[in-house]
A and B are shown apart, each in its own frame.
Chain A
Amino acid sequence: MIVDRMKIRLAMTGLGRYCIILWITGMLLVALSRPVIADSENSVLFTDRTWALSGDTIWFRVSWTGDSNMMGNVLHVQLENMENEVVTGVMVTIDHGRGSGYIPVPDSLATGAYWLRGYSGFMRNGDSATTLSRLITVFHRFDRDITSLQVPDQILPVKTSVPEGLVNLHILRSAWTPGDTVSFSVNLSEDASRSVRELTVSAFLDVPVPLDLASHYVTGLTPALNFEGVSFPPEKNGFLIEGVVKPRQGETLPERSLVMLSISDSIPYFDYYVTDSRGYFQFMLSSAFGTAEIFVRAVAANGQELFTDLTEGLMTGADKMPIQERLLNPDEMTSLNNMLESAWFERIFGGEVAWKDREFRMVHPFDQAFYGEPYQRVYPSEFFDLPDFMEISRELLPGVRFRQRDNHFVIHMLNLDERYYFENGPLRLINGIPVFDNDLLYGFNSTDIHYIDIILQERVFGDISFKGILAIYMNDGNEKWLQGQNNLGRYRIPCLQIPKAAGIYKTALSQGSDQLPDFRRVFLFESVNTTAGNKMFSFPSSDLKGTMVVRLEGVTNSNEPFEIIRKIEMK
């Protein structure tokens, strides 16, 4: 006891006190030096519906208060199951704190509750992150006679009530029949106009969703990959592609490996990342929109080829919610069955279009490939047909030696500046993708190849360099060379979403034809001008009967989400 007191006293004397002050100062500095991480207030998602059928498209708007200079201007929005596994996700760009997009719900998705979350990739630089998530109920379109639903239990929504005097949603009539044009007004007072940051209206048919309709839930986020010491740059008009390198079975990861990412585009895209012994890699792909087909290849310093594995989604939900089974009553079951049946008929008559970014657009800042201006570009079709690449190199490619040696082929290129042949082989590209199998090249004849770029100098790209470059571009559709490229990772990845106006439900499928029934379930999803005054909205309803929800959602300047809901019966 006395010894303990002595220790404490000692600690409070000169040196000890100094140490404590130093420690506190240090901790304060550490705390201050940490970046300000986005928190749950930063992104508020508004959706056009609270439930969806598999194969539908959920449209959303987002209000975001993050600092785009520090955190980037890209928001990840993803659908996760209750196990926090990413089902599908998109990335949208934020402009002046606002963004919008759409998530196609996979056609095969099982019936259940799903999380919809939005986050900035930069949030991973912090110790912990939270976001405002929403729950969406998805029904598989071929499910029938659903008697119960698995829903999260013991979860409290974030709710803010807005005094009716400030913001008012007024339906002009109480009784409506299918096919009517529904009208309503939104009235904002001067006070509301000053305090509301974002406002949206939506209208959709209701089903017995056992979830709080418009609620937001604060949920934790955890990085999909967690490597100590790795920092994540802000995603500014671009996004991170992450993954890990894996060795062949029974082998260990090398200390360093080179991961190469390529995209075959009008100008081939190339980037590299040097991993450490943990095999983690990341690429920032800028100004790429739509769906890209990327090729990833990894090699160790000794030339050994490795496998790569990309992660899906940068972050996922951190907490697994307890699930409870909620039984549906007979009325609810009937209502749900009617909706599912109408969806089946809707499909027969054309149905709601599931939007998917199949195209790919990339803005190339450089007007040249990463290997620079070619010394020569050769089009074999301009010459006599040659049966193999050895003949092509011999007859058409100056400075390229393609020779057979010990039952294999080797390539050496001329260093034009220094007038000698490089000892090492060049970087060989097919459609911009690195390949290392010279025997594969031998099989190419004149009709396979569109053109060949040759670079007769040592090219430098960042920290890596190549002893000449031989870039072969195949004729359209020729992909047979990809067979047998076992170590080449080929991925179709979603890039930044190509913006589309959320207007599909403005035009009924039956428009222009009196014969076809109108099965729309979602009717309206619009941003509301936050200036004070009365705003009128109207939309044509469909031929479906049931309860329709007209919903006004918003967020205040102090980041509090709110909603006003009106229900009308379509009889």
Chain B
Amino acid sequence: MNRQKLLMILVVVFNAITSAGQMEDFYWGDPANMGNPGPGKLMGANFSFLVGTSNNHFYHKDWNDGTILTVDNVLHENIRLRYDGFHDELIAFNVRTNGLVKVDKNTVVEFTAITGPGKVEKFRKLNIAGPGGKQLFAEVLYEGDIILVRSNRIEEYKTSLYKDQLGKLKNTMFLLNQQYYLVHPDMTIQRMHAGRKPILSLFPDKKKEIRRLLRMEEVYSYRIENLPSIIRLLDENDFFRK
């Protein structure tokens, strides 16, 4: 009986000590691992793989080291990140807290992802859809007097029923849809397609000069993969300079 009383008193005293002026219901993450990341802090929403997302949504198949430049002109370095091409969102992994964050898109200017030795992909937020349109992350392929970008969107397509790798029946699949755009100095956007004609139509009054330049430089393939080198060639020969 005495022991029970003592226990009761101890419980009451302990509760009184621990609850006085405390905010026991307030959660602020993992206190043991969090730190002070620096002058700027990334803002976003917690990201979960369990809800409304799939590994197929990502343009990057794995986590990459990278940097994020935010609109407050802070370069956040040594960030693990992936680009969700389905939702057009940037997902970052906080190594200190082991947390995933969907970075607020309106706070980001651009980000880079190191996808291999010496291979850095730079993504910039651009209004590709025109005035009033939604801003999208687009990969910067060439940047000079003119900028060539590529949108790397993952899109879901209806298919006939099939079994996926796990044996599940599915009727949709995710495919990468890439589109190329030229960003002019006045920030107007021009969609680009593969082929010689779209290149020549960039400068209708200079077709002869372009043909001569391409012939001199032995450019014979106009596949879309070669677009960055062709734009570079035109830019280096001052075609985009007014």
Contacts and interface: CB of A to CB of B under 8 A. Distances in A.
Interface in B34-59: 34-39, 41-46, 48, 50-52
A436 B34 contact: no
B37 A436 contact: no
Nearest to B24: A303
What are the 10 closest A-B residue pairs judged by CB atoms, nearest first? A462-B41, A436-B23, A424-B27, A463-B34, A458-B46, A425-B25, A365-B72, A301-B31, A303-B22, A460-B101
7 contacts: A299-B28, A305-B22, A368-B107, A372-B45, A417-B52, A460-B44, A463-B37
A284 interface: yes
A302 interface: yes
A465 B28 contact: yes
A274 B71 contact: no
A417 B73 contact: no
A463 B50 CA distance: 21
Interface string A270-287: 011110000000001010
A37 to B, nearest CB: 21
A466 B28 contact: yes
B52 A462 contact: no
A459 B41 CA distance: 12
Centre residue among B23, B71, B99 by max chain A CB count within 10 A: B23
A410 B23 CA distance: 11
Contacts of B35: 274, 463
Centre residue among B26, B35, B101 by max chain A CB count within 10 A: B26
A463 B29 contact: yes
Interface size class of B (residues with CB under 8 A): 35 or more
A304 B28 CA distance: 13
Interface string A115-148: 0000000000000000000000000000000000
A327 B152 CA distance: 82
A427 interface: yes
Q: Is the interface of B mostly helix, strand, loop or mixed?
A: loop
Nearest to B46: A458
B25 A410 contact: yes
A464 interface: yes
Interface of A: 233, 238, 256, 258, 271-274, 284, 286, 299, 301-305, 365-368, 370, 372, 410-411, 417-418, 422, 424-425, 427, 436, 457-467, 487
Q: Is the interface of A mostly helix, strand, loop or mixed?
A: strand
B43 A418 contact: no
Contacts of B32: 256, 301
Interface in B107-156: 107
A181 B100 CA distance: 71
Given A286-B39, A463-B29, A302 B44 contact: no
B178 to A, nearest CB: 29
Contact of B43 (A256, A367, A436, A460): A460
Contacts of B52: 417
B21 A368 contact: no
A26 to B, nearest CB: 27
B106 interface: yes
B104 A368 contact: yes
A68 to B, nearest CB: 15
B25 A424 contact: yes
Contacts of A487: 21
A273 B94 CA distance: 17
Given A458-B46, A460-B44, A465 B21 contact: no
A465 B26 contact: no
Contacts of B36: 273-274, 462-463
B97 interface: yes
Given A366-B107, A459-B45, A465-B28, A274 B34 contact: yes
B29 A465 contact: yes
